[in-house]
Amino acid sequence: MYWERVSEQIYLFTSDRYALVNSVAVVTDRGIIAIDGLPFPDEAKQIARFLEVRTGADFYSLILTHHHMDHAYGLFAFPERLDVIGSELCRQRLLEVGEASLAEARESDPAFEEVTLRLPTIALESGEFTLDAGNKTLRVFPLPGHTSDNIGVMIEEDDVLITGDAVMAIPIIADGDWEQEIETLERIREMEPDTVVQGHGEVILRGEVKTVMDEYINYLHCIRKEAEVALKKGRDRKEIWDIPLERCGLERVPLGIASHQLHVANILSLYDRLKAEREG
Ligand SMILES: [Zn+2]
């Protein structure tokens, strides 16, 4: 895990063990607000301890952007008394699949034994929610696409947008909705925040936001085209595995070894959907 400062009162923590997933902490007059936790218990506990020691502040609240394990599990490391702000959809998804997937994770890695799921206690049905923390105002609102339950957090005073996985170094829609994700990325491009903290990967800085959103939107259009071509030409799933990430404009391997796998899962999910639509 490594950390950096996004601004004087905003800390970013990135896992070097799980697809560069990010966790954010905002130090406010009311205390520390943590947004998502990293998946591995030792990293999550390290963050909680780091914040306590470095800031000397109390914790004020937690925010969970969506139900995926790499964002949800680490919240266990923060004080139990804290509310968790999230969407009602997130609460429902965790109720439906949370315990089963945690059991699976524990089986593959006993380190997850100490994780207990934290469900949203302040669950947003729809629309916006504003958290007034004195010197900081956090506006929480839906950013669906990667998953239907994903929310974003705008720190108004800093013009910093924390997107959860609505923005990732490779946009992932295999568990979500392609159209919705494009709409969300277009919306963020229009919002033109000063800084975007994406769910996975590097911080997107002032002046880069539009370009990067365009790159991600182009990527999504490109993978749809790849899925359409594969279907039309009767290619099988094995051949889809050979479509490189670079062909859709993402030149690096931004999320480590999992990058290609995630990219292929994207195309396959579109391929399956188009195929089902075609077969009626
Ligand atoms: Zn996710």
The rounded distance, in Å, linking the Cα atoms of 43 and 79 is 16
pLDDT by position in tens, the chain (length 280): 999 999 999 999 999 989 999 999 999 999 999 999 999 999 999 999 999 999 999 999 999 999 999 999 999 999 999 999 999 999 999 999 999 999 999 999 999 999 999 999 999 998 899 999 999 999 999 999 999 999 999 999 999 999 999 999 999 999 999 999 999 999 999 999 999 999 999 999 988 999 999 999 999 999 999 999 999 999 988 899 999 999 999 876 778 778 899 999 999 999 999 999 988 8
Q: How far is the CA of 68 from the centre of ligand 1 (A)?
A: 5
The rounded distance, in Å, linking the Cα atoms of 266 and 44 is: 29
Domain architecture of the chain: domains with CATH: 2-206 (3.60.15.10), 220-278 (no CATH)
What is the helix (H) or strand (E) element at residue 31, kind and residue range? strand 31-35
Which residues lie at CB < 5 A from ion ligand 1?
A: 68, 165
Contact present, 66 and 36 (Cβ < 8 Å): no
233 in Cβ contact with 202 (< 8 Å): no
> Which of 30, 22, 29 lies closest to 68, judged by CA?
22
pTM over 0.85: yes
- Walk across the sheet containing 2-7 and list its strands: 2-7, 10-14, 22-28, 31-35, 59-63, 84-87, 122-124
Q: How far is the CA of 95 from the centre of ligand 1 (A)?
A: 17
Q: Do 63 and 72 touch, CB atoms closer than 8 A? A: no
Rounded to whole angstroms, the Cα distance separating 248 from 30 reads 44
Decide if 129 contacts 141 (C-beta within 8 A): yes
Neighbours of 194 (CB within 10 A): 15
Task: For residue 193, report the distance from its CA to the centre of ligand 1, in Å.
Answer: 21
